[in-house]
Amino acid sequence: MRLNISHTTTYSYDSPNDYALQQLRLIPRSGHGQKVIDWQTRITGAARQLSYDDEYGNHVELVLADPGATHVEIVSEGVVEIEDRAGLLGMQKNRAPLWLFEGATPITAPGKALRKLVGGMKPETDETDLDRAHRLSATVSDLMEFTPGHTASHTTAEEALEDGKGVCQDYSHVMIAAARMIGWPARYVSGYLLMDDTEDQDASHAWSEIWIDGLGWIGFDAANRICPDDRYVRVAVGRDYKTAAPIHGLRHGSGQEDLHVALKVQSQADQ
């Protein structure tokens, strides 16, 4: 399937900043079931300073707001062709070793709720690691209620699981935390999802990937009770949201900031 994607992020300030730098991870990479046919990023009110590939293999751009700018717009868009592999990426290699995805981060650190979850995930008779990982994803989905606005980017997996509410980012953090406690390397994925009922969205999507010996990396979207198929575009991976966020930045200035995100994901077959 070919998907057309347009992701617009707009920052408005009531007074100019002294300094505003944004780190962008918005460009998908070809490989392992997806091919970037065309992609471009247009920026107004700011200028690219540097681009590089980080330790996870993500393409990163640093963007500095123009002096005196009160409006910055970042438009990242293109066409990506996706193959349905039922979530299986296989023995994907990058600069980050597997052991880097085994340890907890502050966001995925275990607590009482996570220990209770993992305590109920002991292997069943004749159950493979893949079967167990699917059971974990289904269990997380059952324990959580999709609730926009209840959590924030700094909400931990433990907090989200204890409340039983969150969005795709929280489901992913809970999956990652539990998988690591079981002993599986696990990582966070940010990207795009073609939704069934709408083309216009207000945020990108997130899911998790777990390393299963003999199979490699396998994706799990616990928020939607599915393994990623040809509706999913992978953009960035990391140990958690902080190292795979589409846009992350810092600024110095006393003015108020207003952020607006507009995302459109369309299938070319439907156009």
* Residues 121-137: tens digit of each pLDDT: 999 999 999 999 999 99
pLDDT recorded at residue 268: 83
**Whether 44 contacts 270, CB under 8 Å:** no
Give ranges for CATH 2.60.40.2250 in the chain. Answer: 2-82+247-270
pLDDT score at 198: 81
pLDDT recorded at residue 270: 61
Q: Which fold has domain 88-243?
A: C8orf32 fold (3.10.620)
pLDDT tier, 203 (very low <50, low <70, confident <90, very high otherwise): confident
pLDDT of res. 271: 55
264, burial (CB in 10 Å: exposed 0-12, middle 13-18, buried 19+): middle
Q: What is the pLDDT of residue 233?
A: 97
Phi, psi of 31, rounded to the nearest 5 degrees: 130, 150
Percentage of the chain lying above the pLDDT 90 cut: 76
Predicted structure pTM score:
0.93
CA distance 155 to 62: 25
Q: Which residues contact 249 (CB under 8 A, 6 or more apart)?
A: 20, 21, 22, 23
Residue 234: is its pLDDT beyond 70?
yes
pLDDT for the residue 50: 93
Tens-place pLDDT, residues 5-40: 999 999 888 888 778 899 999 999 998 899 999 999
* Cβ-contact 47, 64 below 8 angstroms: yes
Which two tokens mark 177?
């935390």
Residue whose token pair is 């009110």 = 45
pLDDT of residue 179: 98
Give which of 182, 83, 196, 194 is closest to 135, Cα–Cα: 182
Q: Where in the chain is the domain with CATH 3.10.620.30?
A: 88-243
What mean pLDDT, rounded, does the chain reach? 92
H or E element that contains 50: strand 46-53
Given the candidates 2.60.40.2250, 3.40.50.300, 2.40.30.10, 1.10.8.50, the CATH classification of the domain at 2-82+247-270 is 2.60.40.2250
As to burial, measured by CB atoms within 10 angstroms (0-12 exposed, 13-18 middle, 19+ buried), residue 248 is: middle
State how far the Cα of 186 lies from the Cα of 261, in Å rounded to an integer. Answer: 28
Residue 253 has pLDDT above 80, yes or no: no
Q: Is the pLDDT of residue 195 over 70?
A: yes
Half-sphere exposure of 113 (CA within 13 A, CB side): 18
62 pLDDT above the threshold of 90 = yes
